[in-house]
Chains A and B, each alone.
Chain A
Amino acid sequence: AQSVTQLDSQVPVFEEAPVELRCNYSSSVSVYLFWYVQYPNQGLQLLLKYLSGSTLVKGINGFEAEFNKSQTSFHLRKPSVHISDTAEYFCAVSVFMDTGRRALTFGSGTRLQVQP
């Protein structure tokens, strides 16, 4: 079975500062990796995904993440945050099951609080 650990439940940061949201996973098989964001009163929106190829993945709104297979990590970064980035961020992994589905296993989420 696979699992996802988001090491920080809350991350306060000042506007225009850089931020890193940490994600580690465990899986006995190869995985796809995702970051989703949930803005207040909205659904989950895909930020970025890693399927294969380059380990540095760029997503929407200036976010990027780096897949590190040896450290089983997929940390999310942004060089300069805005107030509008205040949201909850979820890391997720997907594996191909024998049932044929690509299951999503989520971390517990990280609340990013951007302060002026």
Chain B
Amino acid sequence: EAGVTQFPSHSVIEKGQTVTLRCDPISGHDNLYWYRRVMGKEIKFLLHFVKESKQDESGMPNNRFLAERTGGTYSTLKVQPAELEDSGVYFCASSQAGGTEAFFGQGTRLTVV
């Protein structure tokens, strides 16, 4: 069974540009989470989907970040326009309904120059 897949693995963009990150969770997992790690600091929660609905987006840093989960399957996280401080590694995780373990993808390393 495929794990959580994230695309791209790396992205380098200029300040002001737009970037879209994609996450394919494990099939059948209702819960999908986005996390971010900035420059060696702790991994921080961004938001949580249950199926296609945003359950909690309290960790989203500002309105330049937009997350969607079409049809309750894959999710995208768009940053528009990107700023230097958005650089970091973005992780996606998924879990079963009621599950206690979250499975993580390999992350997308975003560099804004």
- Whether A43 pairs with B91 at a CB distance below 8 angstroms is yes
- Whether A49 pairs with B101 at a CB distance below 8 angstroms is yes
B84: Cβ under 8 A from any A Cβ: no
8 Å CB contact of A108 from B42, B50, B95, B105 = B42
A74 CB contacts on chain B under 8 angstroms: none
62-100 of chain B: CB within 8 A of chain A = 91, 93, 95, 100
B43: Cβ under 8 A from any A Cβ: yes
B40 CB contacts on chain A under 8 angstroms: 108-109
Give bound CA distance, A97 to B31, whole Å.
14
In this complex, how many residues of chain B approach chain A with their Cβ under 8 Å: the count is: 27
- Whether B35 pairs with A101 at a CB distance below 8 angstroms is no
Looking at the assembled complex, report how far the CB atom of B24 sits from the nearest CB atom of chain A, in whole angstroms: 13
Give bound CA distance, A46 to B103, whole Å.
8
3-24 of chain B: CB within 8 A of chain A = 3-4, 6
- Whether A104 pairs with B107 at a CB distance below 8 angstroms is no
Q: Give the A-binding residues of B (Cβ under 8 A).
A: 3-4, 6, 31, 33, 35, 40-45, 48, 50, 55-56, 91, 93, 95, 100-107
